Amino acid sequence: METMTQITAGAVKALRDRTGAGMMDCKRALIESEGDTERAIDLLRKAGAAKAAKREARAVSEGTVRIAMRDRSASMVEVLSETDFVARSEAFEDFSRQLADRLFDLPVPDGEIVQGDALLQLKGGGAIESHLNELRVQVGENVQVGRAVRYDLGAHGAFASYVHFGSRIGVLLEVSDPGDAALEAARGIAMHAAATNPRGVSPDDIPEAEVERERKLLTEQALEQGKPASITEKIVEGRMRKFYEENALLWQAYVRDPDLKVKDVLRKAGDDLAVRRFTRFEVGG
């Protein structure tokens, strides 16, 4: 007569520590594998992959933004979860941190925002996907890579970054001067961009479709208000200037000193100091 393999509480705990799976799942896997820990791990991974596939359909609205620096490169990633509780867990934070570091070794084009699904399809993305599935099993939630971007530094430039309290908003920014005054200004401007969500560095950087949509709306509003056609164009241009002041980084009033424009802050830090580019991520944005 066959006897059931005795599974000790210590063996269950050891398997849980290695895999992060639930206690009952670990016990069932050890029973099925007749106490073979390595086989039990394989069983848990198979079961976890099936569960993870089901979880992928569940909505993710929480998460974190993580920024990393290495040599002359900088990376920023957005990782999403279902709940804030999981987003603040050690396992989730470790995955986010490792992903930001891993971005330096992937064939990610400089400055291009890569969506999560596309990132996992890159050479080397398979290992990230495996880690992601393991994390889903461990935390019991749908976890997704939202977006990622990597900057490779241009000549004589410098990076500045800012992650807002709670890690839900992050800004990565490149300026044209690595000096102390330039870096101090750049850090302040990165924080400013986190607060104001500009659409581009200058009016020329705002997507043309957005500009044309705004211009069309303002023109229609002016005509509906009965404004003469002879002055409608001037009215629209005046209102478009306000649009640029609200949406172009250099034209915005600086949050730390609204009497200054961001371009004034740059000028005070250095005559030729310029913001070359920036990217802003907001969880779920």
Q: What are the structural domain ranges in the chain?
A: 9-55, 58-152
Mean pLDDT of 141-151: 95
Q: Which amino acid is at 248?
A: A
- The CATH number corresponding to 9-55 among 2.60.120.920, 3.40.50.1000, 3.90.1150.10, 1.10.8.10 equals 1.10.8.10
pLDDT of residue 3: 45
pLDDT tens by residue, 25-59: 888 888 888 888 888 888 887 776 545 555 555 67
Decide if pLDDT at 242 tops 60: yes
Q: What is 58-152's CATH topology?
A: Tetrahydropterin Synthase; Chain A (3.30.479)
Mean pLDDT of 100-115: 96
Which residues have CB under 8 Å from 265's CB, separation 6+?
A: 185, 188, 189, 254, 257
> How many angstroms separate the CA atoms of 59 and 151, rounded?
29
Cβ pair 64, 95 in contact under 8 A: no
pLDDT of residue 57: 53
pLDDT tens by residue, 210-239: 999 999 999 988 888 887 877 888 999 999
Which residues have CB under 8 Å from 272's CB, separation 6+?
A: 176, 177
pLDDT of residue 72: 94
pLDDT tens by residue, 189-210: 999 999 999 999 999 999 999 9
